[in-house]
């Protein structure tokens, strides 16, 4: 599955991912000690919702635009993160994870971004030049391990690949196992698309065998049954989620399910521990 973000910016997966990412970092920042935030597949950092790629799919209409039209206050932090890069009431630009994370930085925090595609990394450097972020152009999985443990005692690694390589999940699983051995108390967030339940179940079983004791799975299924050959939803694996996040998740997830459910479908969004 090839998931180039310029075609999908602001879709339902972004709404869930960035809502939870903001909530996670805010939960960690309840403590004053510094954080290092690392984004291994940073992309371009900022996306034009009026671009040819975005208009070709039109997915933002079922994602960020729905979130902006919904009055639920639980989505206020997400809407604020998007509004920060826009002028006017309706968003025409969408912040990728790098811009979202940059907004959350405190003076004591650090942001490390990585993007391998030459054109995308040039765009990323332009977009992030008004921030303190360090931008790298390296293989994402090599950088992930090279940066661990980070200079601060606490931190978050965000792994958001396009899943364009057939061995992406296998490589991700192996790197997660190695990363956990180097930094067992760190927080890791892994985004994934959901195409069908059988493929996802097989990968879930591989991750379960890693034996990571605190591995939370969030799954957002848009439709009440698999729709063959199309994108059916997305989710996150979160290693060592902070307690404040897990406590806040149930009402936030229900708010996200309600606003993103396609017409004629209730949809489903769940959070469960993945354990042996």
Catalytically active residues are 160
Angle between helices 197-208 and 168-182 (to 10 degrees): 30
Beta-strand relationship, 187-194 and 154-159? parallel
Q: Which helix (H) or strand (E) holds 29?
A: none
Helices (H), the chain: 12-28, 52-57, 64-69, 76-83, 97-104, 118-127, 140-146, 168-182, 197-208, 243-260
Question: Strand pairing of 268-273 and 187-194?
Answer: unpaired
Q: Name 91's Cβ contacts closer than 8 Å, sequence gap at least 6.
A: 10, 49, 60, 64, 65, 68, 82, 83, 85
H/E element holding 218? strand 215-221
Cβ pair 193, 236 in contact under 8 A: no
Cα–Cα dist 10/38, whole Å: 21
């Amino acid at each position: 599955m090839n998931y180039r973000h310029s075609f999908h910016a602001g879709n339902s997966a972004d709404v869930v991912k960035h809502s939870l990412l903001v909530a996670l970092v805010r939960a960690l920042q309840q403590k004053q000690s510094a954080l290092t935030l690392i984004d291994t597949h940073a992309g371009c950092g900022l996306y034009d919702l009026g671009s040819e790629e975005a208009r070709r799919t039109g997915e933002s209409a079922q994602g960020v635009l729905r979130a902006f039209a919904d009055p639920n206050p639980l989505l206020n932090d997400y809407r604020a993160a998007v509004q920060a890069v826009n002028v006017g009431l309706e968003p025409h630009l969408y912040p990728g994870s790098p811009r979202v994370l940059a907004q959350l930085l405190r003076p004591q925090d650090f942001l490390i971004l990585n993007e391998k595609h030459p054109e995308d990394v040039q765009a990323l450097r332009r977009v992030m030049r008004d921030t303190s972020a360090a931008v790298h152009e390296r293989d994402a999985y090599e950088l992930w391990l090279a940066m661990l443990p980070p200079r601060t005692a606490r931190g978050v690694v965000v792994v958001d690949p396009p899943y364009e390589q057939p061995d992406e999940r296998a490589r991700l699983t192996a790197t997660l196992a190695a990363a956990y051995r180097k930094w067992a108390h760190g927080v890791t967030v892994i985004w994934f698309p959901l195409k069908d339940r059988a493929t996802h179940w097989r990968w879930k079983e591989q991750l379960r065998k890693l034996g990571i004791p605190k591995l939370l799975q969030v799954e957002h299924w848009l439709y009440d049954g698999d729709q063959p050959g199309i994108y059916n939803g997305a989710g996150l694996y979160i290693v060592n989620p902070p307690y404040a996040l897990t406590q806040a998740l149930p009402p936030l997830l229900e708010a996200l399910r309600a606003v993103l459910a396609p017409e004629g479908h209730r949809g489903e969004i769940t959070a469960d521990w993945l354990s042996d």
